[in-house]
Structure 1
Amino acid sequence: MTIAEWCVFGTLLLYLLTIASVKWAAYGRFDNAKPRDPAFYQDPLRARALGAHQNGIEAFPFFAVAVLLAEFRLGPQRLIDELAILFVIVRIAYVFTYLGNRPTLRSILWSLGFAINIAIFFMPAFKGYLPV
């Protein structure tokens, strides 16, 4: 497996851990029989964790497809790997800014992550022009 493919797996784990950690931290107050109970998410931190989790679910498919397409179309693997690592770093920072209630920085990080995905996705189209 390539580094970028491991990053796809890491992105999946990130969005799962974002909500799992909040549920674990609320031991005794989280009812697994009602995992979507709105009352549990009344707490602002839990609500932000749920938002970060849902955004992770939304961001995951495009990232996974972009990586796989770039690899399938023989984009420069080193550059794919580097951008995938950068995406994971940006997503981790995004989760922390979401949990820390920093909406402007969060939006900047989301935009940066989206731009990284666009770069990975279109990399095969421009591979002849890349200095790699």
Structure 2
Amino acid sequence: MTIANWCVLAACMLPAATVGLAKLASAKLPSGAGRYDNKQPRDWAAGLTGWQARANAAQMNGFEILPLFIAAVVLAQQGHGDQGRIDTLALGFIGLRLVYIALYLANVDALRTLVWFAGVGVSIALLAMG
């Protein structure tokens, strides 16, 4: 497996890890007082506030950007683009996603948006290699 393929796997796991932070933080709460409820996960998520709500939103955004990134990596590799460059761009995308998540959790909206655009730009650069 190439580094870019490992990055696709990482990108697929990031949304679950992001909301997992919110779930983990709620584990210390008493049942019925905001603790994660696996029987009603959507109801639990709807009641989130603060950084936990932002973690859930970052999770959703991670799922939204995922198809573009996966398609970009696959098409760049199918187009026989330079694998070293594909790997570098894919690693850059993962790095940007990690920064994006941190900025989202910290509620730094303007910089977060710039980082999001950079991630889209990386995916477009990958697509152009195809």
TM value normalised by structure 1: 0.89
Q: Is the 8 A contact 2:37 2:44 kept in 1?
A: no
Root mean square deviation of aligned Cα: 1.3
Secondary structure, aligned partner of 1:45? helix
Q: Is the 8 A contact 2:23 2:36 kept in 1?
A: yes
Q: For residue 4 of structure 2, what is the amino acid of its counterpart? A: A
Secondary structure, aligned partner of 2:42? coil
Matched residue, 2:32: none
Equivalent residues, number: 124
Instruction: For residue 15 of structure 1, report the CA deviation from its aligned partner.
Output: 1.1
Instruction: For residue 41 of structure 1, report the CA deviation from its aligned partner.
Output: 3.5
Q: Distance in 2 between matches of 1:22 and 1:6?
A: 25
- Percentage of matched positions with identical amino acids: 40
Among residues 27, 36, 52, which one is paired with 2:42 in the alignment? 36
Moved over 2 A (4+): 38-42
Q: For residue 98 of structure 2, what is the amino acid of its counterpart? A: I
Q: Is the 8 A contact 1:41 1:50 kept in 2?
A: no
Q: Which runs of 5+ in 2 are unaligned?
A: 30-34
TM value normalised by structure 2: 0.91
Q: Which runs of 5+ in 1 are unaligned?
A: 125-132
Q: Distance in 2 between matches of 1:8 and 1:85?
A: 10
- Are 2:31 and 1:25 equivalent residues in the alignment? no
- CA distance 1:102–1:38, change in 2 (3 Å): same
Matched residue, 2:2: 2
